[in-house]
Structure 1
């Protein structure tokens, strides 16, 4: 099959740029879909980032209802195998239990994505039910980091992170219940925005009452792609319980202007969690860079009880995932998760979560409330707070303490292992505030390191505006202009 463009040219385009070429008549949605599929075929045997390609949509992009007149005009897109459903398509959630599971309808957000002109050509990998920090169960698949195949991509938006970093396509779906957009973006060199609660729909199966912490979103390689995705896919379904935020102007317009002088706080002391010295040095370097752009930068931290917040977050995850698994068992007429089909930690989470009382959930919500108010007060004095994306370096594949195939007998100890590394992202989910990972730092071993910025609720536009200012100052060269070793343009 002949391709419409060379791989270097392909990888130089973002989604907005590809859409413009479609509108100009240079390329067609089918040609772009076939190029993306060729990219998947090229790198997926090494990375295991994509579960399935929808072959019918490579030749008939509008077959599933994609709107070719939408702003993205038929640009190819991949959907994480978790969250929004696609009518008639498999959604297996990284689990042996869910093999063969097909959706009966598009979710509201999936319909918005198609209406925006994104051609959803396949599914990307995720750990089982999105619970842990790596898509890494040899019985299902092991997704590898394109920068160094010995390392995880982290998760749970694992396949999306690897596919984007490897140049397969410029924009892909992701979800975030505690860092699952931002952490893999940070460790694979992508841009990852977790929007505020009340930006993207989680209808029809969930609402902010049942979802609490989990949000939808994307990863991209340019700020304007993320801005355009938010502009055209945001909004709640009819009757969805949430005051869905609307921006005073499109983010695609806002990001063309630099923000004013911002008050930016730096921190890596998050309760008793601390970043390794190299990450602190990279954070300080980012702070100096932002000072050079004219912003006020100093060390500061919200005055909240971090220990109580993480304990409440743990209660939320355990009780939420237990109900998620219960809801999946019912149609299968199973009373409990089968040990040969569900990973050990997820079974333990299910068992523990069934014990959660309403009183415990009420106490959890009270801590959510005080934590959110504490961050709210902080953002009366500060516009942005910056941290590293994690406290510790990217784990190597096979580091089972972070995996749901772990043999840890204690669910609570297992979660504490997570918090020791992934400390900086979950509280933005708890508070419903936006956070973004920007690929502007490097780990000692050469892997990317995201710098993580958070802002007040509904101030997603400010994060994108700052990100765009940084992107311009870097001449568009995120990751110092480097590409990973596994890339579609490698050897061409």
Structure 2
């Protein structure tokens, strides 16, 4: 299969070709690898290749075993792994350290017949909204090579937006699916807390703030991938409410008339283009007979920001201690990026009682949003408060930590709210600037209601096919 034909299909579409035996998984793998060979030197989206493993996997695919059987796929190089294969977490110290086990989500992807042929770039330990790790270099946005592909799933987003793959694995602890999806013009769904298990060993990440799923071009690809990965496993500390039906069945299903809350600005003002983008999507929703009301949930933004920063810094300190234990020595200054070291230093002296108080603040937000969503079905905001950032603006070694924290707040003030509450949220790729840059709009739904997001997103995708998910392959 030539690349032009390959890039016209989403993942489910490629799976259908495999199921009908019109194409062999090896042909799809060859098309994906050819695309990576041609495009990746400029983008720096893929940082490791697993060609031999992928060839073996492609040769034993059972066509039609799942809607995604035989489809090429990439894993984000952070937080998940394949037994015997290194996961760097965006850090040079782990470039060659093999993982001791295969992650549950990865095992489920392989069982569904996805052909994993590489790993994608990520910031060091996923701590940034821009993928510019010292260890591997920056990932460039396919729509403008001077700009960031977002973070922390920037490598995955660039690979999808460029047409290397139709979908790629991603994770989200503070916007790391939705930010890259926004700046690369893709659909990015952060699932409900505990929808996708973190096992087989880990129980949660960042006190339940982090989860994993995928970045895709189409809504149905996201739904199909969620069907593959979702569901509890033995030993989970908690689980998300079970869905009424497979998520793929929600695509095309009538969402009914939704009550949509519209918010243009948080406590940080949004850029005019981002405000205009969410207003435009709100009008699209009204055209589909949904009811839109301008309002916002009330909460203490400063208290929440303090609590979130405390959680991240304390976890960073604990992670560095674990790294030192694994290495059998103390870490030396400069071995990690300056931003990583600064976050850990800030979290190390935090007392346990303060950590408990900050966690209670975060959990309290979930209660507030639970009440808010009793009156609304969807909350619509800008995904980012500014257009896609240029590379270097969030450089973890080139910008001091205090400035980086301020810039993250200015860039993505709405992003961590879905992580703190555990609610599902998705980037809708419907608006583009005059100079061709994506301007994402975020839809958040009540806890456990990915079905509602998928129905609305699929409805908008069908109503506006010329705007949805434009990729450089097209």
TM tier relative to shorter chain = over 0.9
C-alpha separation between the residues in 2 aligned to 1:172 and 1:442?
22
Give yes or no for the alignment of 1:392 onto 2:380: no
Partner residue of 2:17? 21
For the structure 1 residues 211 and 117, does the alpha-carbon distance in structure 2 shift closer, same or farther, using more than 3 Å as the test?
farther
Q: Which residue of 110, 127, 150 corresponds with 2:146?
A: 150
Whether contact under 8 Å (1:151, 1:397) holds in the other structure is yes
Q: CA deviation at 1:109?
A: 1.2
Segment drifting more, 322-331 vs 275-284:
322-331
Give runs of aligned pairs for residues 58-97 of structure 1, distance below 5 A. 58-61=54-57, 69-97=65-93
C-alpha separation between the residues in 1 aligned to 2:61 and 2:78?
20
Give yes or no for the alignment of 1:255 onto 2:245: no
Q: How many residues were matched structurally?
A: 473
Segment drifting more, 164-173 vs 109-118:
109-118
Partner residue of 1:451? 441
Partner residue of 2:40? 44
For each residue in 1:267-323, what CA deviation from the matched residue of structure 2 results, as whole angstroms up to 9, or x when unmatched? Answer: 1222x2110112111211111111000000121100111221111111111112222
Q: Which residue of 298, 301, 317 corresponds with 1:322?
A: 317
Partner residue of 1:416? 406
C-alpha separation between the residues in 1 aligned to 2:233 and 2:17?
32
Partner residue of 1:112? 108
For each residue in 1:325-351, what CA deviation from the matched residue of structure 2 results, as whole angstroms up to 9, or x when unmatched? Answer: 322221111223x33431011011122
C-alpha separation between the residues in 1 aligned to 2:358 and 2:410?
20
Q: Which residue of 347, 350, 368 corresponds with 1:353?
A: 347
Give runs of aligned pairs for residues 231-380 of structure 1, distance below 5 A. 231-270=227-266, 272-336=267-331, 338-380=332-374
Where structure 2 has 5 or more consecutive residues not aligned to the other structure, the ranges are none
Whether contact under 8 Å (1:66, 1:115) holds in the other structure is no
Q: CA deviation at 1:70?
A: 3.6
Look up the SS of the partner of 1:218 in the other structure: strand
Q: CA deviation at 1:209?
A: 7.2
Look up the SS of the partner of 1:443 in the other structure: coil
C-alpha separation between the residues in 2 aligned to 1:198 and 1:94?
24
C-alpha separation between the residues in 2 aligned to 1:219 and 1:354?
34
Q: CA deviation at 1:476?
A: 6.2
Give yes or no for the alignment of 1:102 onto 2:98: yes
Whether contact under 8 Å (1:85, 1:91) holds in the other structure is yes
Partner residue of 1:438? 428
Give runs of aligned pairs for residues 161-172 of structure 1, distance below 5 A. 161-172=157-168
Segment drifting more, 294-303 vs 252-261:
252-261
Q: CA deviation at 1:98?
A: 1.4
C-alpha separation between the residues in 2 aligned to 1:285 and 1:244?
32
For the structure 1 residues 244 and 67, does the alpha-carbon distance in structure 2 shift closer, same or farther, using more than 3 Å as the test?
farther
C-alpha separation between the residues in 2 aligned to 1:313 and 1:230?
27
TM-score by length of 1: 0.92
For the structure 1 residues 244 and 66, does the alpha-carbon distance in structure 2 shift closer, same or farther, using more than 3 Å as the test?
farther
Look up the SS of the partner of 2:439 in the other structure: strand
For each residue in 1:440-460, what CA deviation from the matched residue of structure 2 results, as whole angstroms up to 9, or x when unmatched? Answer: 012353211111000110011
Whether contact under 8 Å (2:188, 2:215) holds in the other structure is yes
C-alpha separation between the residues in 2 aligned to 1:67 and 1:240?
30
Whether contact under 8 Å (1:51, 1:122) holds in the other structure is yes
For the structure 1 residues 334 and 247, does the alpha-carbon distance in structure 2 shift closer, same or farther, using more than 3 Å as the test?
same
Look up the SS of the partner of 1:35 in the other structure: helix
Q: CA deviation at 1:139?
A: 5.0
Q: CA deviation at 1:417?
A: 2.4
Q: CA deviation at 1:59?
A: 2.5
Where structure 1 has 5 or more consecutive residues not aligned to the other structure, the ranges are none
